[in-house]
Amino acid sequence: MPKTPNRVLTTESGAPVADNQNSATAGVGGPILLQDQHLLEKLARFNRERIPERVVHARGSGAYGHFEVTDDVTGFTHADFLSEIGKRTEVFLRFSTVADNLGGADAVRDPRGFALKFYTEEGNYDLVGNNTPVFFIKDPLKFPDFIHSQKRDPFTGKQEPENVWDFWAHAPEATHQVTWLMGDRGIPASYRHMNGYGSHTYQWTNEQGEAFFVKYHFKTNQGIRSLSAEQAQEIVGKDANSHQTDLLQAIERGVHPSWTLYVQIMPAAEAADYRFNPFDLTKVWPHKDYPLQRVGRLVLDRNPDNVFAEVEQAAFSPNNFVPGIGPSPDKMLQGRLFAYADAHRYRLGVNHTQLPVNAPKATEADNYGRDGVMATNAYGRTRKNYEPNSFDGPVETGRPLAAPYAVAGYTGTHEAPAHTKDDDFFQAGELYRLMSEDEKGRLVANIAGGLSQVSHDDIVEKNLAHFHAADPDYGKRVEEAVRALRED
């Protein structure tokens, strides 16, 4: 059988490379010549191979798959990808930790990002959530401060319990999420063995224009599996990339992880009088009030070929909606509608939506965006770059993606409206009371392990007050555990 001719190595301009082993020098053993274009090009490109990492969710893994509708939800939304049972839509899902850097370990106590891109026929729909149904804060104005408190201290260069717990001491609304994070589900055994949540409240609109508020729940079909602090420490020592390894190997050997999507649906008219503020990200909607309704099945069945190109450059924005789905007055969601897309414009450039992992697959983006760094849609004489025009360019539909909602009042900085059960501690106490004795013991030990390292008594006391307010037994146990550790 004849040997296949070797492909010719070239420079980036396409010129053939004569020698890829030796730099050009001024004679044998002499200094390198500035005219060695191939060397200069390789070194310059190498210096620029990395891009700014995400400030949050830097450490991530991802996979492709599909979403298939299993139940009729057309009474609640006219989104085309949810329009009929059996309909499949290609997806890309990126998992991540939140606080650590790109080189951080996977098996750590931290929320997990669950960012899902649906490549629908009406455009890409991004659902950007976590593996917890709630979060630490309810207003985006506090988000930079919160993340700064969780990141590496500027002096010590590592995460400091003093900073972590000081912020939480001044954010009583964080008590619910702290209870989640310090509990058994704070360290998932793998990305496959955890749930995903939209976390925020979103709006669905049906063909008749009726509006509903919804919460998304992706329940793992592999079952929930978590790690104790001791198990996680052992795994990190053996394989810091344990979640990445597990996801990659499972898919490669044909074990395709899956999740069942359920939603909670609230008629829009019920939102104002609901006992909890339905747009407060620190709160859940109890299932007895709004039961889970099944929608479909999510399956991951293909690994990326290039982690940098397809995972690191994957860009998600909760502002990427499709007809039939829209935002709600959730203040944290409102802040993320801006912040996520802005982060990607900074990291990847204004044309990041043209990268293969981010570009629509089931339709084509058709608009008047032009130019900028790395533009690939540089249409010339056949396409105008203004609107309206007389040359058959794309035009507006006149149909909003979602239903409008009424607003009233004066502009200004306002606290969120209070509902009957809107304190910062009730739901944290409910979560604690659902736990078994063993779960409570591990929760208390995890909290005390960090809080006992705080040197300022007032920070400790403020945090203890939050746990007491959530449940007297909860507060008593944490207080005793912290005291015992601090006396050692």
Phi (first) and psi of residue 422, to 5 degrees? -85, 65
Separation between Cα atoms, residue 278 and residue 200, nearest integer Å: 9
Contact call for residues 274 and 266 (beta carbons, < 8 A): yes
Give yes or no for residue 488 having a pLDDT over 80.
Answer: no
Give the model's confidence band at 374: pLDDT under 50 very low, under 70 low, under 90 confident, else very high: confident
Strand, coil or helix: what is 176? helix
pLDDT recorded at residue 378:
67
Give yes or no for residue 1 having a pLDDT over 70.
Answer: no
The answer to whether residue 130 is catalytic is yes
Q: Which residues contact 117 (CB under 8 A, 6 or more apart)?
A: 91, 92, 93, 124, 125, 126, 314, 316, 320, 358
Query: What's the rounded mean pLDDT across residues 50-61?
Result: 94
| Residue of higher predicted confidence among 417 and 248 | 248
Element (H, E) at 44: helix 37-47
Give yes or no for residue 2 having a pLDDT over 70.
Answer: no
| Residue of higher predicted confidence among 380 and 466 | 466
Q: Which residues of 160-192 are buried (b: 16+ CB within 10 A; e: fewer)?
A: bebbbbbbbbebbbbbbbbbbbbbbbbbbbbbb
Catalytic residue among 38, 57, 217, 243: 57
| C-beta atoms surrounding 263 within 10 Å | 23
DSSP assignments along 98-132, one per residue: SSS-TT--SSSSS-EEEEEEEEEBTEEEEEEEESS
Query: What's the rounded mean pLDDT across residues 308-329?
Result: 96
Query: What's the rounded mean pLDDT across residues 139-146?
Result: 95
Nearest partner of 96 among 148, 157, 53, judged by Cα: 53
DSSP 72: -
Query: What's the rounded mean pLDDT across residues 62-72?
Result: 98
| Residue of higher predicted confidence among 417 and 291 | 291
DSSP assignments along 218-240, one per residue: EEESS---B--HHHHHHHHHH-T
The string of pLDDT tens digits covering residues 8-36 is 999 999 999 999 999 999 999 999 999 99
Give yes or no for residue 95 having a pLDDT over 90.
Answer: yes
Separation between Cα atoms, residue 339 and residue 350, nearest integer Å: 14
pLDDT recorded at residue 408:
87
Separation between Cα atoms, residue 282 and residue 172, nearest integer Å: 10
Separation between Cα atoms, residue 213 and residue 205, nearest integer Å: 9
Catalytic residue among 38, 124, 130, 163: 130
Average pLDDT of every residue of the chain: 95
Q: Which residues contact 256 (CB under 8 A, 6 or more apart)?
A: 65, 250, 299, 300, 301
The string of pLDDT tens digits covering residues 189-235 is 999 999 999 999 999 999 999 999 999 999 999 999 999 999 999 99
Query: What's the rounded mean pLDDT across residues 125-141?
Result: 97
In the chain, pLDDT over 90 holds for what percent of residues?
Answer: 87
pLDDT recorded at residue 385:
85
pLDDT recorded at residue 471:
98
Give the model's confidence band at 375: pLDDT under 50 very low, under 70 low, under 90 confident, else very high: confident
Give yes or no for residue 267 having a pLDDT over 90.
Answer: yes
The answer to whether residue 57 is catalytic is yes
Separation between Cα atoms, residue 111 and residue 89, nearest integer Å: 27
Q: Which residues of 91-123 are buried (b: 16+ CB within 10 A; e: fewer)?
A: bbbbbbbbbbeeeebbbbbbbbbbbbbbbbebb
Residue with tokens 């006391």: 461
The gap between the terminal CA atoms of the chain, to the nearest Å, is: 76
125, β-bridge pairs:
118
